[in-house]
Amino acid sequence: MQAWQVHENGEPSEVMRLEDVETPTPGDGQVLLKVRAANINFPDALLCRGQYQVRPPLPFTPGVEICGETEDGRRVLANPALPYGGFAEYAVADARAVLPAPEALDDAEAAALHIGYQTGWFGLHRRAALEAGETLLVHAAAGGVGSAAVQLGRAAGARVIGVVGGADKAAVARELGCDVVIDRRAEDVIAAVKEATGGRGADVIYDPVGGEAYVQSAKVVAFEGRIVVVGFASGTIPSPALNHALVKNYSILGLHWGLYNTKNPKLIQHCHEQLTELAARGAIKPLVSERVPLGGAAGAVQRVADGVTTGRVAVIPGLTEGGAA
C-alpha cells in the first residue's frame, strides 16, 4: 500500500515521504481500516516536527483522525494507533474506540467531526457549562477547531463572536453564522469585544491559539466568565496572572480531550451520540474547505501548519488528481 512516512523530524513538506510499504497487521484489540478520508489536524504538523506530546517511533505515518471502512464494510470514525496513521491507504485503530460514522455526513465531513467537535463539545458543555443566551467568543473562528466551536455555540443558543485573521477568514466566519466577526489584523480586538458586549465582555472564551489571544481573552472575559484553554497554535504558551483571575472573578479551564479516552471513555460515546444527533438535524456540519488526493497530503499538512487554511482539509486516498473519487 501507499503511505506517507516520516523518517526524521522537521517541517511536514520536507520530511513527509510517500512510499510503498507493507499493509499493517493489527495487534490484539485492534482493527485494520481502509481509509476513506483522513482529516488534517494541527497535531499532525507537531508530530512531524517532533513537538507533540506523543512521539511515535520513526518512521511513522501521521494522520490522527479518519473516516474508515472495516473489513465487514462498516463506515466508522477512528483515531489511528500510531505509527500507522491515517495518511495512507490503510490504518490501524483500537477496536474499542471505533465509532459509527454519522449517515448525515459524507466521508470528509465525517472524518472532520471527531477531534474538533468532541473538543468543542467537551470544552463548551462539560468544562464551561455554556448556557443559551450567553456570549461565546471564539479565537481562530474560521479554522478547523474554531469553526466547530462556532457551530456548537450557535446550536447551544449562544451569541457568538468570532475573532479571525484576515478578510477571507472573516467572510468564512460570517458564513458559519457568527453574530459578530472581528478581524484582528484590522481591528482592536479588545475594544471591538467591549463594544459588541456593551462593556460586559464574553461569558465563555474558547482559545485554541494562546499567546496574544490569551492576553486579549483575560481583558475581555466577563464577571464569572470562563476561558477554555484548548491549545497553542500561536506557538506561545501564556503564563496567566492568577491574581488577575481572582480580581476579575473568572475561571481558567484546561481541556485535554484525549484524557477522556482513558479517564472516562463513556463520555466520548455520549458526546458522539450528541454530535450525531446535531448533524442529523443540520445544526452542525463540518466545514471542509479542501479535499486533496493522497499524493497532496504533505503540502496540505504544511498549509495547515502555516495557518493559511480555513475549516478542515481532508485527504481522500481514492481521489484522483483531477478531483474524481
pLDDT digits (tens, 9 = 90+) for 164-210: 999 999 999 999 999 999 999 999 999 999 999 999 999 999 999 99
Binned at pLDDT 50, 70 and 90, residue 258 comes out as confident
The rounded distance, in Å, linking the Cα atoms of 310 and 153 is 18
Are 289 and 302 a contacting pair, CB within 8 Å?
Answer: no
297 CB-near residues (< 8 Å, 6+ apart): 4, 16, 18, 38, 40, 63, 87, 315
Give the type of residue at 6.
V
Percent of the chain having pLDDT more than 90?
A: 90
3-state helix, strand, coil in the chain (%, to 5): 35, 25, 40
Query: Cell digits for 301?
Result: 499538512
Question: pLDDT-derived band of residue 48, with 50, 70 and 90 as boundaries?
Answer: very high
Residue 191 burial (CB < 10 Å; 0-12/13-18/19+)? exposed
Q: What is each CA distance from 190 to 49, 212, 213, 253, 270, in whole angstroms?
A: 33, 11, 10, 21, 36
Beta strands 159-164; 180-183: pairing state = parallel
Measured CA to CA, the distance from residue 194 to residue 137 in angstroms comes to 12
CA distances to 2, 31, 62, 172, 279 from 20, rounded to whole Å, are 5, 21, 15, 38, 37
Instruction: Compute the mean pLDDT over every residue in the chain, rounded to the nearest whole number.
Output: 95
Q: Tell me which DSSP letter residue 209 carries.
A: S
* Residue pointed to by grid coordinates 481541556: 255
Peptide bond into 59 cis (omega under 30): yes
Q: How far apart are CA 135 and CA 127, in angstroms?
A: 16
pLDDT value at residue 208:
94
Would you state the torsion angle of the CA atoms of residues 253, 256, 259, 264, taken in this order, to the nearest 10 degrees?
50
Give CA–CA dist 103/274, Å, rounded: 14
* Type of residue found at 85: G
Helix 212-220 vs helix 189-196: crossing angle, to nearest 10: 30
- pLDDT, mean of residues 65-73: 97
* Pair 241, 214: CB distance under 8 Å: no
Residue 286 pLDDT level (bands cut at 50, 70, 90): very high
Closest to 260 measured CA to CA, from 271, 249, 251 = 271
DSSP reduced 3-state for 195: helix
In the block, cell 479516552 appears at 261
Q: For residue 323, what pLDDT is reported?
A: 53
- pLDDT tens for residues 266-285? 999 999 999 999 999 999 99
**Any bridge partners for residue 205, and if so which?**
137, 227
